[in-house]
Structure 1
Amino acid sequence: MINLAEAVKLKSILAKKVQELVSELHRSAFVTVEKGQAPKTSNRAMKVIEAELAQVRLDVRTLDRLVCMKKKVYAWVMVKLQCFMKLLCTSQMITANLL
C-alpha cells in the first residue's frame, strides 16, 4: 500500500516524465536541414515515444483515481466516526440521567 506522501512524490516524477517525453516528441517531430545535408534522425521512432507517453499518462490517471478513492474512503470513515461519537455521547447522557 502506498501512502499519500509517496503518491504525491510519484505524481511529481510522472509529471516530469510526461514533460520529458513531450519535449522529446517535439524534438523528433521537427528537423532543420541545411541545403545539401542529410537530415539527422532521432534515436527513437515517434510511435515509440507516443506509446510511452500514452502509458505514462495512463499511470498518472490511475494514480489520481487511487488517491481520490483513498480520500473518499477517509472522508467516509470520518463521517461514520462522528456519527458514532454522537451516538455514544447521547447514550452516555441517557445512562447518566437514568442513574
Structure 2
Amino acid sequence: MVGSQAILAFQNSNGSITVYPTPITSYNPSMQPRSLSYQVSNVSAEYANGEMTIFAVVGPLDNKTTVNHVWQAGDTVSINIPQIHPTSGPNTQSTGTVDFLSG
C-alpha cells in the first residue's frame, strides 16, 4: 500500500531468501533496498511450510507505542525484484494495529 514502510522477503529461484526494508512511495515503487522512516535492524526471514516469516528489530518509533500494519502477498519475482501483487480481495483487507505496550 502506498505510504507503507515495508520489510519484504521473497524466495529466489535458487531457493535462497532475500529480505530487506523499502518504502512504498507509489503504485510502481522500485522495490530496491532503502532506508525506512524509522530504524530497522537484525532483519531476517525464513520460508517453511509454504509461509514466509520475517523477523526484525523495529524502532524507536518517535514516542509512539502503536503502529498500523499491512501484509501483502504476491507470487512474482523478476530478476530478484518483487512484482506488483493483486490490488483487490485479501490484499486490501490485510490491515491491523500493533500496540507494543499491551501484553
Please give the range of the TM-score, normalised by the shorter of the 2 chains: under 0.3
Structure number, greater radius of gyration: 1
More strand per residue: 1 or 2?
Answer: 2
TM-score by length of 2: 0.19
More helix per residue: 1 or 2?
Answer: 1
TM-score by length of 1: 0.19
Higher relative contact order (CA 8 A, sep 6+): 1
